[in-house]
Amino acid sequence: MSEEHKPLLVARKLVKHFPITGGVFGREVAKVHAVNGVSLELHKGECVGLVGESGCGKSTLGKTLVRLLDPTSGTILFDGKDISTLGYKQLRPLKRRMQMIFQDPYGSLNPRMTIENILREALLFHKVVDKGGVSARIDELLDLAGLSKAVRRKYPHEFSGGQRQRVGIARALTVNPELILADEPVSALDVSVQAQILNLLQGLRAELGLSYLFVSHDLKVVQHFCERVFIMYLGFIVEELPCDDLETDVRHPYSKALLSAIPVDDPRDRRDTEVLEGDVPSPIQLPKGCPFHTRCPQAEEICKKENPELVVIGKAHRVACHVVARELGAQN
């Protein structure tokens, strides 16, 4: 296997639950099932999207994969090394190789520190360069992020949202990472600024050989930016497919509903929209069987009893749906 296609990040049956405590003694009375048995791979130099509606567990999954959160169970491999149970000291050298760009470009920056000090702190903490080389490295990082050297002594509140996100990108680059988790990095920005940030991230990927795990609720953005996409519902991966096939080959009913909700550019295009009925079930008490069967227009009796496995139905295409699996079996 070539170095470019070697798995950089692998998850196997990854689970993340959050306990809910109550009573006098603070005992666990229930749990939030945020991530439920997820398995996926991300290869070196690849950009993979993670999509789903709010509350589906995509951000929790991303943070667990880079060990900002500890997994409840399952395995995480980073460049072939099991990092699932590593402690802080063991994880620290690996943290240099995995960085994050946050959704809120203001809340993720210390408002009492100048941009220079924000970048300096990361450089010195991880000992990326010696003290004599810090200033030159800061200038280099600002240039990579499309910012001028004049911003060094400014504070986060003096910038627009797009400029603050550029600072966040510069901070993520301080330690020369290989993998960047981008958690809704453009959702808080104007559309025109979104395009600038996405173009910047694409350019950095080509220049620095970065890999991205791109978390978003916007399927249109992911379709433009990523090569593959994982679609999540209620903590489960329900479909994985190449982004080039999104318009023509989505199979899961939930994926089809997400795709049909994307606004159409041509006002003369009067295509039908698939509107899902009902509410998303509570992640505290998951439904039996397929997690989507309570809202699925194609649900059958088996869907209420058995949770479907992700099955391979094409090149880089997997889907978790009893109906789709049966139809393909009939075709074959």
| Residue 302 C-alpha from the chain's centroid | 31
Name the DSSP letter for residue 310. P
Alpha carbons 45 and 238: distance in angstroms, whole number? 24
- Residue 182's contacts (CB-CB under 8 Å, 6 or more residues apart) are 100, 101, 201, 212, 213, 214, 215
What is the token pair recorded at 308?
């479907």
What is the token pair recorded at 323?
């109906």
Alpha carbons 282 and 285: distance in angstroms, whole number? 6
Q: In terms of C-beta density within 10 A (0-12 exposed, 13-18 middle, 19 or more buried), how is residue 255 classed?
A: buried
Tens-digit pLDDT profile for the chain (332 aa)? 445 557 899 999 999 999 999 888 888 889 999 999 999 999 999 999 999 988 899 999 999 999 999 999 999 999 999 999 999 889 988 988 999 998 887 888 899 999 999 999 989 988 888 888 999 999 999 999 999 999 999 999 999 989 999 999 999 999 999 999 999 998 878 888 999 999 999 999 999 999 999 999 888 899 989 999 999 999 999 999 999 999 889 999 999 998 887 766 666 666 666 677 778 899 999 999 999 999 998 899 999 999 999 999 888 899 999 999 888 763 43
Please report, in angstroms and rounded to a whole number, the separation of the first and last CA atoms in the chain. 30
